[in-house]
């Protein structure tokens, strides 16, 4: 059980000398490996069936076999989810335990991950860690699984809005660049280096930082920290915090940042990377950069804004737990270590 002496000693054994968790990197994928598209939160509306097919084509183009999980079927669902929390957890656990499945791609986001955080088979993850790809509600899974096991979470594009959506509308050169980037991220044990920057990237506060990449949708960061699966506050020491937001109001973003200020997170991080906002009312007066700098106050850390990850899509991957270098003035973010490894040892 969580919190038992045995569990606590296991957690201590997973710590590095710095007090941070030992990274649990998934096994690097190989050509022909099976990738499963799964409904980890919301259901599949009929109008997005075609997007799933297009997403499968993108993943097959990277050299993988693709299958869809049973809950990913038009007409299935309960309330706002692809099933009950127990049903979603049962399907996810089955994928985690299946040795043939080498990666799991979320179909879409939603509002269901909070309902099954306590039902995930973390021992299966420790025994056979696999990349789980997704953002939005899926970013909550990345934070919680990182906290519980050290698993590298792939805050990256999903099937319906990503591979089968934004990617289809991207210029051919950008799509080819992303396909190469994602394939290398999932298959190579060499560090990616600098992520391909975009014209939207803005230096909101100059500076340089190196640290572990930690983040999610901003409201999911706040929600995760309110659960018993929260990241220990010390794990934010020296981290590069990334976040993005969709919907709501500018005042909500300000409030979430204030929560992180009060909790001590903003006093511990070494840098911040902010995604392109989408559908947030009230931005403009103030701007997002003004909101961020207002809450940061005199905390002299680099801030890189308007980076293309999250709901604005297509997504640059942001692997949770991986060490990065941030140079805000040069508008550069580099992955200093791989997200996957050869073999299965942590």
Q: Known catalytic residues?
A: 136, 244, 311
Cα(243)–Cα(214) distance, integer angstroms: 9
Token reading at 328: 């805000």
Cα(278)–Cα(293) distance, integer angstroms: 19
| Number of residues that make up the chain | 346
State the pairing for strand pair 193-194/101-106. unpaired
- Residues near 117 by Cβ (< 8 Å), separated by ≥ 6? 140, 141, 144, 227, 229
307 touches 274 (CB < 8 A) = yes
Which stretches does DSSP call E strand in the chain? 34-38, 65-68, 101-106, 132-134, 153-155, 193-194, 202-205, 208-217, 240-244, 271-275, 303-307, 318-320, 323-327, 332-335
213 touches 320 (CB < 8 A) = yes
Cα angle: 295, vertex 296, 301; to 5 degrees: 160
Q: What are the distances in angstroms from CA 80 to CA 37, 83, 110, 185, 299?
A: 19, 8, 7, 32, 40
Before 286, cis peptide (omega within 30)?
yes
Which residue shows structure tokens 């949770």?
Answer: 320
36 touches 95 (CB < 8 A) = yes
State the pairing for strand pair 240-244/332-335. unpaired
- Residues near 202 by Cβ (< 8 Å), separated by ≥ 6? 289, 304, 305, 306, 331
């Amino acid at each position: 059980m969580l919190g038992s002496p045995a569990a606590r000693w296991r957690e201590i054994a997973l710590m590095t000398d710095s007090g941070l968790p030992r990274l649990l990197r998934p096994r690097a994928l190989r050509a022909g490996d099976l990738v499963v598209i799964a409904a980890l939160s919301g259901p599949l509306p009929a109008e997005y069936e075609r997007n799933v097919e297009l997403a499968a084509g993108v993943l097959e183009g990277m050299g993988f076999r693709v299958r869809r999980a049973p809950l990913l079927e038009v007409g299935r669902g309960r309330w706002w989810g692809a099933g009950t929390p127990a049903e979603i957890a049962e399907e996810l656990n089955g994928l985690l335990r299946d040795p043939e499945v080498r990666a799991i791609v979320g179909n879409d986001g939603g509002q269901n991950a909070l309902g099954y955080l306590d039902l995930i088979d973390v021992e299966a993850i420790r025994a056979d860690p696999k990349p789980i790809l997704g953002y939005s509600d899926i970013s909550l899974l990345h934070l919680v699984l990182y906290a519980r096991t050290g698993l590298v979470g792939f805050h990256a594009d999903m099937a319906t809005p990503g591979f089968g959506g934004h990617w289809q509308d991207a210029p051919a050169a950008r799509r080819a660049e992303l396909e190469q980037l994602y394939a290398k991220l999932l298959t190579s044990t060499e560090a990616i280096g600098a992520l391909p920057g975009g014209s939207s990237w803005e230096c909101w506060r100059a500076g340089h930082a190196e640290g572990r990449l930690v983040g999610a949708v901003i409201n999911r960061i706040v929600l995760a920290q309110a659960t018993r699966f929260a990241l220990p506050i010390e794990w934010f020491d020296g981290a590069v915090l990334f976040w993005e937001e969709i919907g709501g109001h500018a005042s909500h973003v300000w409030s979430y940042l204030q929560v992180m200020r009060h909790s001590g997170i903003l006093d511990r991080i070494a840098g911040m990377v902010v995604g392109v906002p989408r559908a947030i009312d009230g931005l403009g007066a103030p701007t997002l950069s003004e909101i961020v700098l207002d809450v940061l106050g005199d905390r002299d850390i680099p801030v890189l804004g308007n980076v293309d990850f999250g709901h604005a899509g297509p997504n640059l991957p942001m692997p949770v737990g991986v060490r990065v270098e941030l140079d805000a003035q040069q508008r550069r973010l580099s992955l200093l270590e791989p997200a996957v490894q050869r073999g299965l040892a942590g």
